[in-house]
Each structure stands twice: as C-alpha cells, then as structure tokens.
Amino acid sequence: MEIVKNPTFPFPEATAVMLGQFDGFHRAHRRLAQSTVSYASANALLPVAFTFTGRKQKGIALSTEEEKAAFFHGVGIQRLVSFDFDALREMSPEDFVEQILLTTLSAKAVFCGFNYRFGKGAAATTRDLSRLIDTRAALFVLPEMKDEKSGVSISSTNIRTLLDQKRFRDAERLLGHPLPERFRR
C-alpha cells in the first residue's frame, strides 16, 4: 500500500475515496472500507483512504498511524492519503470538495459515515457534500451502525468511553478486533 502525505498534484488515476479520521478502525470503519474497495474493484477505480494527521482529538488515540496503515492494507485500500490537519483546517467546504476530492484525489466515488463533517469549523455535513459533489462523483453515506448486543452506536467516542470504564470486552466488540496491549495497563 502506498502512503501519500499532503499531495499537491492530481492523481492520474480515477479513485474511490473513503473519508474519515478512522481512529481505532472499528467495525463501521471496516464496513466503509469494504464498500469502498468493492465499488472500486467493480468500477476500475483505485481504492483510497483520506485522513488527517495532527488533529487534536478528545480522549486517547485508539490507533497509531502505523496501525491505521496496517488496517487499511488488510482490507484492500491501495493508497492512504494523509493531510496535515492544520493545512486544511481553514478550507471552505466548497474548496475541500473542488481542490482536494475532485482535483487532487481524482474522486469518482466518495464514501463516508452518516456523521461525517468537513470544511472550516467542521460546518459542512453529508448533505452539503452531496450538494457540492452533485453529479461529478457518486456519493455513498454509510448509515449509523449499532452493536447488536448493546444497541450502542459503533463509534470511536463510544469505544473511548468503554475504555475509560475498563470495559475491555465491550470495547473490543465494537472495534471488531483485539485491543492493543497498551490499553490494558
């Protein structure tokens, strides 16, 4: 898998791009990645994951950059694109779609979760993304995914809460894979 940081050139190949922070690469992230890879394969597109580095988040990080890359590689993502958060934090939603998604990443399909937010101040939603992309790329928004046993939404925030409560098995169930040992100390 190729890792590209802060690209400034348009990708020569058409892509299917999944958007997100992907901290912990939980079950909903996995479903999004599998959808992206499957669509890309069926439509001769390069499957790409787009994420940020350097973004301050609430709570502990669930995965390192190396762990994220391994997860993406394991599900068939062929290129991981990572932008420094500070470089894009002031970008308008319109510029993000035009300059990053459609021009730099050459997106022909875009995949994200139902709660994806983007643009300056995270002001734009998936509804804005749909409007801005219009017909220039296909947009697929994954609906909320809940844990079958607890009914809890599968999210990095909820996994962090479970870790704070030392509920490791429940956290692993939402993740869909074992916790790194560093969380059990």
Find the domain containing 96 and state its range.
2-144
**Number of domain units in the chain:** 1
| Strand extents, DSSP E, the chain | 2-5, 15-19, 46-53, 79-84, 107-113, 138-142
Rounded to two decimals, the pTM is 0.93
Backbone angles phi, psi at 159, to 5 degrees: -65, -40
Q: Is residue 112 part of a domain?
A: yes
Say how far apart CA 57 and CA 54 lie, in whole Å: 9
Residue 36 domain flag: yes
CATH no. for residue 86? 3.40.50.620
Is pLDDT at 125 greater than 70 in this prediction?
yes
Residue 24 lies in a domain: yes
Angle, alpha carbons 139-64-73 (nearest 5°): 55
For residue 178, tell me if it sits in a domain.
Answer: no
Question: Does residue 17 belong to any structural domain of this protein?
Answer: yes
pLDDT digits over 81-101, tens only? 999 988 888 999 999 999 999
Residue 50 inside a domain? The answer is yes
Q: Cα separation of 17 and 121, whole Å?
A: 22
174, part of any domain = no
Strand-strand pairing, 46-53 and 15-19 = parallel
Of 130 and 87, the structure prediction assigns the larger pLDDT to: 130
Task: Mention every residue, 6+ apart, whose C-beta is less than 8 A from residue 108.
Answer: 14, 15, 16, 43, 45, 137, 138
Compute the distance between CA of residue 32 and CA of residue 45 in angstroms, rounded to an integer: 16
pLDDT for 145 equals: 96
pLDDT in tens, 29-57: 999 999 999 999 999 999 999 998 876 66
Q: Is residue 170 part of a domain?
A: no
